[in-house]
Amino acid sequence: MPKLMDYMISPYPIRIIDPKVESSRLRLKSIRIGQAGHLPGRTLYRSGVVFEHWALVYIVSGGGSYSENGGKEQQVREGSLFFFRPGCSYSFGPPPGGYWDEYYINFGGSRVTEWIETGMIAGGTVCQANTVQGLTSLFEEVLGLMDGGAPGDADRAALKLEEMLLECSLNIQGNNRILQGDNMPHIRDALRACIYEEPELPGIAADLHISMSTLRRTVRRSSGYPLHEYIHRLKMAEAKHLLLNTPLQVQEIAGMLHYRDPFYFSRLFKRCMGISPQKCRNNV
């Protein structure tokens, strides 16, 4: 191994790719990738570093630690993923005598606000992304696209970054739900099973061994809708299926789904589906 000076990142060749396209040449204005890189065998530990941009960091192998704004030191290991966010202070890197193999992508743009609001990105927490298939290859694709210097490739790299963030957030959130014992799949099945009747919600909660407050909270967290609105939407999805696949009249479908007032049913269907029941059937 070559002799490593204190200021060096790694004893191995590293890749750091800066943008090669002026921002006015890009078609995707809401996502901008800045610097991206691969640091194999990183040995440098940094303390109290403040970044100007968001960054996605993925550790392929090795390990170390990460903390944000002087908070709790979190362990980093193979498959760890975390973010740097602008204006925050970070201490991170492998321990003395250790290393980690790191990919990173700096990014910005107006779309970041949406990513934050939907939970696709968040600072301060180390997550495990082992279940995300081909993540190293996705980073390599972004680096390759950014290195080419073509405006179209820079735009493709931005879309690839969003794909990576979406897959990571879905996998990580899914794993967290499993670890926390989330009952949403069972709740969904139980509610779907009583679409053609008035759901007896306390009984459903009891069968799932959860409280009514947990039932409401789980549905809201998973779907974004209050419990009764979620039930309405399940029923409207079934109503659409019946409209498209049976000769049943709107009034008959309303009655089957326990809506006594067909006019209320039609208003509810239009609110949920964006189209009236009759137009839904006629527009096929």
Query: Residue 8: pLDDT band by 50, 70, 90 thresholds?
Result: confident
What pLDDT, in 10s, does the model give residues 215-254? 998 888 777 789 999 999 999 999 999 999 999 999 999 9
Distance (Å, whole) CA 109 – CA 17: 19
Other Cβ atoms less than 10 A from the Cβ of 93: the count is: 22
Break the chain into its structural domains and give their ranges: 15-179, 184-282
| Mean pLDDT (whole number) for 24-33 | 91
Is residue 284 over pLDDT 90? no
Query: Residue 269: pLDDT band by 50, 70, 90 thresholds?
Result: very high
Query: Residue 179: pLDDT band by 50, 70, 90 thresholds?
Result: very low
Per-residue model confidence (pLDDT) at position 173? 59
> What CATH architecture applies to the domain 184-282?
Orthogonal Bundle (1.10)
DSSP assignment of 73-86 equals: -EEE-TTEEEEE-T
**CATH for 15-179 (1.25.40.10, 2.60.120.280, 3.40.120.10, 1.10.101.10):** 2.60.120.280
What pLDDT, in 10s, does the model give residues 52-62? 999 999 999 99
Q: Among residues 114, 98, 164, which one has the least CA distance to residue 134?
A: 164
> Coil, strand, or helix at residue 151?
helix
Would 15-179 and 184-282 be classified into the same CATH topology?
no
Task: State the chain's mean pLDDT as an integer.
Answer: 89
Cβ contact 104:57 at 8 Å: yes
- Structure letter (DSSP) for residue 94: P
Cβ contact 184:173 at 8 Å: no
CA distances from 240 to 2, 196, 228, 267 (A): 68, 14, 18, 14
CA distances from 233 to 76, 191, 208, 240, 274 (A): 42, 11, 21, 10, 12
Cβ contact 142:33 at 8 Å: yes
Q: Among residues 22, 106, 104, 113, which one has the least CA distance to residue 57?
A: 104
Q: Among residues 79, 81, 105, which one has the least CA distance to residue 158?
A: 105
Is residue 117 over pLDDT 80? no
